[in-house]
Chain A
Amino acid sequence: MIRLIVAMATFIGLCTQAPAERLITSVSSSRVLITSSYTGAELVLFGAIERDAVSVSRAGTYDIVVTVRGPVSPFTVREKLRIGPIWVNADQQKYVGLPGYLAIHSSRPLTEVSSKPLRERFQLGLMETVAARGGGGAGSEERRQYFHNALIRLKSNARLFQSNDKGVVFLAPGLFRAAISLPATAPLGNYEATVTLLSDGAPLATEKTDFEVVKTGFEAQVAAAAFGQPWLYGLFTVLLALGFGWLANYAFRRD
């Protein structure tokens, strides 16, 4: 039996002539459907590290980093400062290239997985991603860093930014799993999960897979009407309001 598997593996290896490790990934659902009872979603990403016969045997262990990015959504971070007797939004930084949802799961703490320059280059980490994609905002480097920190804190509180260094679990030496948790406020649109395989701090392979978050049924129809037939939608809402106002008056009238 074992001999058969080895033979098959060798055969496949010879046929594909893949230079090294290969990643195979799959998400439990390619479409997250938003219905009226939607309160967020949990997805699972599975992956396998495929080694062929020509792969060099490695001394170190494998590390997996799974980065899930939602659609890009521009936003502004503002800071309130005291001006005279009142607190007002005094300083701000604009972010245009960041995803509305960002989750970074890894099998070990990212600082152990790879070196700082590599983490920055491959955006392995929340701060690394914000610094790389945040855009060249105004102000000094310290000032920008200050805003980056505030942004990550606020987004993390809303669970729109997540960083989990135990988020990738190895089920077997070549088989892993990562749980993706979408809060209800995660933006709608296309999501991309990038899986990176590293060993001894060096990236060996990456694989991308995607899924989308869409409205369905009644929620989709309402949104379509609001954007497609705004006059009719507005008129309908007004008539509904007046109708209910009249109905309540009629139902509760005593005089």
Chain B
Amino acid sequence: MQIYLPIAELPVSIFLIFGMAAAVGFISGLFGVGGGFLMTPLLVFLGIPPGVAVATGSAQIAASSMTGVLTFWRRKALDVKLGLVLVGGGIVGTFLGVLFFNAMRRAGYFDLVLVLSYVTLLGSVGGLMLIESLKATFMPKRVKVRKPSRLDGRWWFETLPFPVKFERSGLMISIVPVIALGLFIGFAGAVLGIGGGFIVVPALIYFFRVPTAMVVGTSLFQILFTMIAATMLHAVTNQSVDFVLALILIIGSVIGAQFGARAGQNLKGEHFRLLLAILVFGVAVRFAIEIGVKPNEPFSIEQQETRQ
């Protein structure tokens, strides 16, 4: 069944979009990632203009993270204080990211910046996680031996000024690196059209040693607020939020996210990290192939956006 999208201005198959949204929603609920790094490329692949895909995707990410936040909130698996600090840094980062986005676009390097950023960011994060979780899965003894060293092995940035206590996560660390992380996520999110969950989750686990149980909820909390702001920003500045597309994506993904969140509860910590690592690394490889292999069609047409 085809439906015409009023802002994207083309017809799409409802069931195809719905199924895709449910699949991305499942992954999003499972790992506490927004799923933007999957959804945006998939929508573009289906022919939705990139601007509309990014803007509408943010509304969908807001909806599925809302569902997740409520679930984790009830389970008390959410560190609001840590989340709010991340959001604070994220707002500044988003602003800087939009400035950078516009500058790159004017210079004509945006496509290249986008793909290279995806490859570097997803590749390095995914690669590191993959190595670590493979070690943890297949050589569990070595990890156990390391555990005692956790107390004295603090990162240098944890002892910077302005220490804050995050009771929920059982942490006492400087606020500076947390704000810096939020800032970086906000920046990357605005430039790449992603929520940044795949960076927040591993960063909280590896750099701040936030308990895995607390990580997903906190990450979703931060994503929720960033995406509400992004949706409003897109609707007001470039009018590319497609209401009909958003509705299909939202219904598909919130249902998918429910099953994902439940499936995540039965996953072991190491397996969780391994699967997320494979996913993130896989997307990086996909983007690397895109720029590394001779394209079938070297030509592309880009429509100039006509302001109405």
Contacts and interface: CB of A to CB of B under 8 A. Distances in A.
A80 B298 contact: yes
A237 B246 contact: yes
B63 interface: yes
B235 A230 contact: yes
Interface in A5-43: 34-40
B128 to A, nearest CB: 22
Contacts of A76: 301-302, 304
A151 B297 CA distance: 12
A28 B250 CA distance: 40
A226 interface: yes
Contacts, number: 174
Nearest to B71: A249
A252 B291 CA distance: 42
A247 B4 CA distance: 26
A242 interface: yes
B243 A39 contact: no
B74 interface: yes
Contact of B236 (A184, A230, A255): A230
Contact of A215 (B6, B250, B254, B258): B6
A82 B294 contact: yes
A83 to B, nearest CB: 10
Contact of B63 (A89, A218, A231, A242): A242
Given A73-B306, A223-B6, A242-B66, A234 B231 contact: yes
B70 A245 contact: yes
B171 interface: no
Most buried by A among B6, B47, B71: B6
A81 B254 CA distance: 41
A225 B7 CA distance: 11
A150 B299 contact: yes
Interface in B117-173: none
Given A73-B303, A222-B243, A241-B231, A227 B308 contact: yes
Contacts of A247: 254
Determine which residue in A39, A226, A238 has the highest number of CB atoms from chain B within 10 A of its CB, and name it. Answer: A238
A79 B308 CA distance: 29
B76 to A, nearest CB: 12
A223 B240 CA distance: 10
A237 B247 CA distance: 9
Contacts of A155: 301
Contact of B231 (A37, A75, A153, A238): A238
B11 A184 contact: yes
A218 B298 CA distance: 39
Interface string B57-81: 0011011111101110011000000
A185 B5 CA distance: 11
B300 interface: yes
Interface in B275-308: 291-295, 297-304, 306, 308
B263 interface: no
Count class of interface residues, chain A: 35 or more
Given A37-B2, A73-B303, A249-B71, A226 B235 contact: yes
B303 A75 contact: yes
A174 interface: no
A240 interface: yes
Interface in A82-130: 82, 85-89
Given A87-B295, A226-B243, A241 B59 contact: yes
A155 B65 CA distance: 39
B244 A222 contact: yes
Contacts of A86: 291-292
A20 B19 CA distance: 62
A219 B8 CA distance: 11
B239 interface: yes
A220 B7 CA distance: 10
B304 A74 contact: yes
A58 B111 CA distance: 58
A235 interface: yes
Interface of A: 34-40, 73-82, 85-89, 150-151, 153-155, 184-185, 187-188, 215, 218-220, 222-223, 225-227, 230-231, 233-238, 240-242, 244-249, 252-253, 255
Given A155-B301, A222-B7, A240-B250, 16 more contacts: A38-B11, A80-B295, A82-B294, A87-B293, A219-B4, A223-B6, A230-B236, A230-B239, A234-B232, A238-B232, A240-B247, A241-B59, A242-B228, A249-B66, A252-B255, A253-B74
